[in-house]
Structure formats: structure tokens, C-alpha cells
Amino acid sequence: MKPSLFHLLPGMFLIILLAAGGAIAAPTGGPAQIKLDRLSSLFDAVNFDHAAHVEIAGDCATCHHHTTGDGAGGERCGRCHAQSPKSAAVACHDCHEADPFTAVQLERKADDRYQYHVDKPGLKAAYHWNCLGCHENAGGPTGCEDCHARNAAGEKFYHSGAFAPKAAAARAH
Amino acid sequence: MSGISRRRFLAASIAGCAATTLCGTQKVLAAGSFTGYPEGMGVLVDLTRCIGCRSCEAACNKEQNLPAPAKPFDDMSVFDETFHGGSQKRRPDENAYTVVNRYEPEGGGKPIYRKVQCNHCNEPACLTSCFVNAYTKTQEGAVVYNSKICVGCRNCMIACPFNIPGYSYSSAFDPVVKKCIFCHETRLKNGKPPACVEICPQQALTFGKRKELIKIAHQRIQNEPGRYVDHLYGEKELGGTGWMYLSSAPFEQVGFDVTTGNEPIIANVKDFLGTVPMVLAIWPALFTGFHLLAKRKDGHGHDDGHGEESGKEGEES
């Protein structure tokens, strides 16, 4: 079957999205919206309002350590990285691996004879520590579903909603 | 002549006893000094990171094909459940190989959540107690069991210092013990982390080689001494466990038994177990020997005497 324009559209749209880094540029210097969809197997994508958070945070470094904010300084990191240039990486996933415990990753960590970067949080932890830490202090939403709306697979996974245990549903009535 | 053979026999018996006792003791002493497989994997549980989302429970349920839960995994009312008059929080059973419990730290502050599952001891008491050898400590660090061998005696449930093994009371015909197996069959032996570690949003669970995790844990304490109690639970307790814990509150306040000591359970029983081969192997031979010697003496020297005695008894009466 010859691919029609209609068939190609989703692919083209995806390429454009990837080219934009999943983001739409905003006047503040960062993207206005960022679509976080790493957990799409269980949850709908989180449409992160970057622009709103830029206003709340005031400074890029509040969230973006080592990169667009400040360098890697401080008592521990500064010993080696005081003179390091700012990293070109901006997004969390540029440094924080989505799969921190694969055999390959563990092997790489075992080779780090200085043991300095072996305990770096994975991507999920990097997001959640950053978001939750601030939300708890600033009174932002902290419930799982406040950010992560579950899809059907997610409901099944948590045995909730349409997949709630019948006994529990009966007790509730 | 019978005196000489008896002396020889006794000497040989005593030598045999001594040899068996020594060999047996050496063997169990060697077992007592086992500190885990060098490449064994473990999990570092950081209680300061856990937010009590129960995703690990859901992931375990799916991975191990467990029955549907009584309440949804997003139902946080389970944290209020207590048993035995409020003295006991939830514990793993045949339907849930892991549960998360909530603790209110003394002096207020945020609640602390603790995940409970098999700790995969270096020297598992369940394995020691199992007389059909259903349990195995794998080189990857998991304590697994063969349900085809398990006879359902529940010795392991009594032996486990952490009250982990559950029992399939629901099965009338083939009840067996059920517990966390570190996802050994589906993940661990293929080099993958267990399902609970993979789902954890907070990386409260860190998967790695046990010996590396010990370094990481002490590094965390050193980096943030105000955040942690200066103790890694499971590093030394009961001979060391594969799953180890960091906490902000004293461990006894968050459901840990701090009276276990560092000796593995087998150390309590190895002296006794060392005598078992002696009793089983030597005693039957020894007493059979005594019996045969006594019979032989009877047969050669006292037949007539008995006759006389019975005769005398007859006269007296």
C-alpha cells in the first residue's frame, strides 16, 4: 500500500515534536510546555507548564542544577568541578538514566573507582524529588493522580477504577 | 575373650563418635562463617525517600501473578489496618509478597513508610529449618524455594526472624509456603532488578551488588548525617541480609527488630545440629553392639544360671 499524506502525518508530527524537544519555545528562554510521557504505559502524559513554573521558581537554578543554572559547585562536587564549564545538557533525561539498574548501568557504576557518581538518581527519581520536594514545601499538589492521570492499563495495574476489587466495591455500598 | 572384644568395640565406638562430632562441627562452623555470595545482589531501602504510594505492591502483584487484592493499590486506608489488638501492622502473606506500612515518628514530623518483604538473608533461617531442602540461596542473592518439594510443614514460618513466609491456607489440598523470591525466575537471574525496584517513583529502592550497596549506604549517611540514623540495618544483622535499610528514625520505631543480634540463626543451632549425625550414625551401631554383646554373653555363660535362679525362686515361693 502506498503511504498517503494522511498516513504520514502522525510520523511528521512526531518528527517535528522530537525536533522541538517535545517543547514549544516561550519568551522566558525555556519552553512554555513540556510533555512528560515516559510513564505512558500506565499514565497519561503530564503536560508540564514550564512557563508557570519559571515564574514561581524565579531562577533556572532552582530546578536545573549544574546546567542552565549554576555550575557543579558546593563542598563535595566543587572539589573536582569548580572549574568545570556549564554542561550543555538541560533536560533531566540528558544526565539521569531512565533505567538506572540494568546490568550495563551497574557494570558502568562498578567501574567508577572514585564512587562519586554511582548513587546518582535515575530519571524517575530526579523528576519526583525535584517536583515533590518543592510541592511539599510550597503547598503544591502532592497526590499521585494530581499529576498522573491513569490510563486503562494503569487502572488495571493498581486494581482501581473500573478494575477495583468487587469485594471492595460491595463493601463501599 | 569376650572382654577383649568389648574393650576394642568400645574404643572403636568412642573414636568413631569423636571423629563424627569433629567432622560435623567443622562442617557447620564453615557454614556459620558464610557471608553471602560475593557477586550476590541486594536492595538498599531508603525509608527517607519512600512516600507510601504502594506502587511496589501493585508491581509485585502483577509480576508474580498474585490474586486480586482486597482493596485497590491506591487505597491508602490499608495503612490504618492493624491486627492482634493493634500490636501488629500488615505483613506479607500468600496474596501479597510485599506490603508497605506507615509509622508516625515519635516527636511528630512526616510519617515514615516501610516496605516489608523477604530480606534474603545471607544465611537464611528458613533454609536452615527446612528438612526437605526446599529452600535455596542462589548465587544472585535470592532466597527461593521449590514449591514442588515443600511439604507445608511451616517450620520456616517459625524460624524466620522477620515473620516473612506466608502460607497458602486457602488451598485445602496443596498448601505451600509463599514469599518474595526477589523476582528471581522472571528478572533477577536475567540481570534485571525486581519489579518493585523498577516501579518505585522515588528510587527508595536501590538495586545493586550487595557489597556496592553497603558502600553507597555509608556514603549517604556520611553525606547527610542529619538525615539518617548512623546504622545500616541488615549489613550485619543475623549474619547480613540482601535487603538493607536506611532510616531517619531509630529502627525500633519503624517496625524493625533491633534485638536480633549479628549472629545468623544457624549459630544458635549448629552445636545441636553437629550432634545429629553422631546420634543418627553412631548410636544405632553402638547400642546394637551392646545388645549383641549382652545376648552373646547370655547365650554362653548364663543359660544354666538362669535355670538355677528360676529353680531357687520356685523353691522360695
Is residue B204 domain-resident?
yes
More confident residue, B153 or B311: B153
Q: Give the model's pLDDT for residue A78.
A: 79
Pick the residue with more confidence: B273 or B165? Answer: B165
User: Is residue B196 within 8 Å of residue B62, measured between CB atoms?
Assistant: no
Which chain A positions have a beta carbon within 8 Å of B202's beta carbon? 124-125, 128-129, 132
In angstroms, the CA A67 to CA A122 distance is 17
Q: Is residue B136 domain-resident?
A: yes
pLDDT band at A73 (very low <50, low <70, confident <90, very high): low
Which positions in chain B touch A122 (Cβ < 8 Å)? 203
> What's the mean pLDDT when you consider all of chain B?
86
**Residue B312 belongs to some domain of the structure:** no
Locate the DSSP E strands across chain B: 41-46, 99-103, 112-116, 135-137, 143-145, 166-167, 177-178, 205-209, 243-246
CB distance B122 to B263 below 8 Å: no
Supply the range of the domain harboring residue B143. 35-268
Q: Report the C-alpha gap between B296 and B310 in whole angstroms.
A: 20
- Buried b / exposed e over B178-211, threshold 16 CB at 10 Å, is bbbbbbbeebbeeebbbbbbbbbbbbbbbbbbbe
Q: What is the pLDDT of residue B174?
A: 81
Asked if residue B273 has pLDDT above 80, the reply is no
SS3 helix, strand, coil % of chain B, rounded to 5?
A: 45, 15, 45
Q: Over 60: is that where the pLDDT of B2 sits?
A: no
> What pLDDT shows up at residue A164?
92
* Interface contact A165-B58, CB threshold 8 A: no
pLDDT for the residue numbered B232: 97
pLDDT over 50 at A15, yes or no:
no
The 3-state DSSP class for residue B315 equals helix
Gap between the terminal Cα atoms of chain A: 54
Residue of chain B whose Cα is closest to the Cα of A129:
B202
Instruction: Give the pLDDT score at B75.
Output: 95
C-alpha cell at B40: 550476590
CA atoms within 13 A on the CB side of A28: 18
Instruction: Give yes or no for B202 touching A (CB within 8 A).
Output: yes
C-alpha cell at B172: 485445602
Domain boundaries, chain A: 65-90
- Model pLDDT for residues A86-124, shown as the tens digit of each residue: 777 788 898 899 999 999 999 988 888 777 788 999 999
What is the number of structural domains in chain B? 1
Q: Are B36 and B240 in contact (CB under 8 A)?
A: yes
Q: How large is the average pLDDT for residues B119-131?
A: 93
Max CA distance (Å), chain B: 97
pLDDT (tens digit per residue) in B139-148: 999 999 999 9
Contacts of residue A148, defined as CB under 8 A and 6 or more positions apart, other chains included, come to A39, A42, A43, A44, A46, A154
Residue A22's pLDDT is what? Answer: 41
Rg (CA), chain A: 20
The pLDDT assigned to A84 comes to 78
CA distances in angstroms from A53 to A31, A135, A142, listed in the order given: 11, 11, 15
| CA-closest candidate to residue B193, choices A97, A154, A12 | A97
- pLDDT at residue B5 in the model: 62
Section A47-55 average pLDDT: 92
Best of B64, B203, B215 to substitute, by most chain A Cβ atoms within 10 angstroms, is B203
- Residue B117 pLDDT > 60, yes or no? yes
Q: For residue B300, name the pLDDT band (cuts at 50, 70, 90).
A: low
Residue A14 confidence class, pLDDT cut points 50, 70, 90:
very low
Q: Which of B57-66, B92-101, B174-183, B226-235 shows the lowest mean pLDDT across its residues?
A: B174-183
Quick one: average pLDDT of B221-243? 95
Q: Which is more confident, B218 or B268?
A: B218
Regarding an ipTM greater than 0.90, the answer is no
Percent of chain B with pLDDT over 90: 65
Q: In A20-83, which ranges are continuous DSSP H helix?
A: 50-57, 74-81
Lowest-confidence pick of A159-173, B20-34, B130-144, B151-165: B20-34
First to last CA, chain B: 38
Beta bridge partners of B206: B44
Phi, psi of B208 (to 5 degrees): 175, -175
- Looking at the complex, does the CB of residue B73 fall below 8 Å from at least one CB of chain A? yes
Looking at CA atoms only, how far is residue A73 from chain B in angstroms? 15
**Helix (H, G, I), strand (E, B), or coil: what is residue B99?**
strand
* Confidence band, pLDDT 50/70/90 cuts, at residue A69: low
**Residue B73 to residue A159, Cβ atoms within 8 A:** yes
Q: Output the pLDDT for position B295.
A: 87
Alpha helices (H) along B171-231: 195-199, 210-223
- B192-209 average pLDDT score: 97
Q: Report the predicted TM-score, pTM, of the whole model to 2 decimal places.
A: 0.79
B261 versus B302: the higher-pLDDT residue is: B261
Name the residue with higher pLDDT: B285 or B107: B285
- Give pLDDT, residue B317: 42
- Decide if pLDDT at B73 tops 50: yes
In DSSP terms, which residues pair with A79 in a beta bridge?
Answer: none
Report CA-CA distances (Å) from A1 to A5, A7, A8, B12, B26: 12, 11, 13, 91, 75
pLDDT at residue A6, rounded to an integer: 52
Please report the number of interchain residue pairs, chain A to chain B, with beta-carbon separation below 8 angstroms: 81
Contact B120, B242 (CB under 8 A): yes
Task: Give the CATH number, domain containing residue B40.
Answer: 3.30.70.20
Does residue A25 have a pLDDT over 80? Answer: no
Specify the pLDDT at position A152.
96
What single string gives the DSSP state of each residue in A159-172?
T-GGG--HHHHHHH
Q: Which residues of B touch A161 (CB under 8 A)?
A: 72
Q: Does residue B163 have a pLDDT over 70?
A: yes
Instruction: Give the pLDDT confidence score for residue A141 in this predicted structure.
Output: 94
